[in-house]
Structure 1
Amino acid sequence: MTNVGGSAAEPAAAYPVQQTPPVAAPEVMTAGPNAAPAGAVAGYPGAYYVPAEPDRFTRFFTRLYTRSPRWAAPVAALACMGVGVGYTLLTDPTHSTADAIPTCLLKMTTGLDCPGCGGTRAMWFLLHGDVGAAARHHILFVFVLPFLLYLYVAWAVQHMFRWRLPQLRISTTTIGVVLAAWFVFTVLRNLPWAPFTWLYV
């Protein structure tokens, strides 16, 4: 290629580009006579990090957490479970109508069972000692419930009394397997053929 004057253009490689070596940011001294003040940002002299002031809502729950006794969290969790059990016993979901409140929007609009459909009824039957009927309404809930109860007991005992029960090791693989089984169960229970119709609630 030639330029306007007719002379050949020099290749770009003939003019090497000078590269400036990167300069590492200086470290912030945290000890000694030359120590920087707290919050100093490395590489930016005179710049300081100022943490945000927590709002009133955050301060309230922080104080509540730091001042609460050790037994408060397990008792609060137990109270929540007690409310759920009491609601189940009082409402008797086995005799409620399809449009009773609360209802499953997926079931009401499509007629399909959602992943949680039948769980409240399964709990009601378990509370009355009928494991077979509970499994009929939600077999996965019946299978998982003992593990969830043990996790709560082990956590509550350690939190309140510092007793360490054998811990259940729940890996990401275990969680993935349970979620996959739950998905397969949800699909199978909506198939309109025997024996899958036994799972339809």
Structure 2
Amino acid sequence: MVLKPRVALVLAITVGMVIAATALYQNPPGSSWITPPCMMHKYTGLHCPGCGSTRATYALLHGDVLGALKKNIIFVIALPFLLWWIARSTWRWIHNRPSPPDTQARLDFQKRLSWALVVIVMLFSVFRNLPWAPFNWLAPH
């Protein structure tokens, strides 16, 4: 049996992700070179929007959803949508199915959604660096 090149590539990436998840599962963030620190936080002391994502992933791999939410709530909330989008896009790509045609209403929605996500991430970045409650709860603990 010969695999199609697209299927082989998806399988290779999937195996790589499983290996990476296994390595993260066995090595808590900050304990080895596998999980380097955030350079923005290291040099500025500020938390970027991604700060805590590796620790949140580690917590999720260990079944600690509440702990993951404390590390990076926006990452944990976005993760199911991101995984769904990746799975859907990969399925379409493997089966050579084009995306639905872009109508003006669809393009307008995508543009508004993109801007809303940019604003949400920017506000999250600002709020998680404020030194008082409830905003400092957004910083990774």
TM-score, L = length of structure 2: 0.75
Q: Which structure 2 residue ranges, 5 or more long, are not aligned? A: 101-105
- Going from structure 1 to structure 2, the CA distance change for 1:80 and 1:180 (only over 3 Å counts) comes to farther
How many residue pairs end up in the alignment? Answer: 129
Residue 146 (structure 1) aligned with residue 80 (structure 2): yes
Cα distance in structure 1, aligned partners of 2:72 and 2:38: 15
CA contact (8 A) 1:74 1:159 kept: no
- Going from structure 1 to structure 2, the CA distance change for 1:150 and 1:193 (only over 3 Å counts) comes to same
CA contact (8 A) 1:122 1:133 kept: yes
SS at match of 2:56: helix
Cα distance per residue 1:148-186 (max 9 Å; x no partner): 11122223333445789x9xx771221221121011001
Residue 193 (structure 1) aligned with residue 132 (structure 2): yes
Match of residue 65 from structure 2 = 131
Paired-residue identity, %: 38
Task: Look up the equivalent residue of 2:63 and give its one-letter code.
Answer: G
Cα drift, residue 140 of structure 1:
0.8
SS at match of 1:171: helix
SS at match of 1:103: coil
1:76 equivalent among 7, 12, 18 = 12
Q: Which structure 1 residue ranges, 5 or more long, are not aligned? A: 1-67
Cα distance per residue 1:56-113 (max 9 Å; x no partner): xxxxxxxxxxxx62302322332342243223213211xx26xx96122221122211
2:51 equivalent among 110, 117, 125 = 117
Cα distance in structure 2, aligned partners of 1:73 and 1:176: 32
Task: Look up the equivalent residue of 2:127 and give its one-letter code.
Answer: L
Residue 175 (structure 1) aligned with residue 114 (structure 2): yes
Cα distance in structure 2, aligned partners of 1:101 and 1:88: 8
| Aligned-residue CA RMSD (Å) | 2.9
2:91 equivalent among 140, 157, 164 = 157
- Going from structure 1 to structure 2, the CA distance change for 1:101 and 1:74 (only over 3 Å counts) comes to closer
TM-score, L = length of structure 1: 0.55
Higher helix share: 2
Higher RCO structure, 1 or 2 (CA under 8 Å, sep 6+): 2
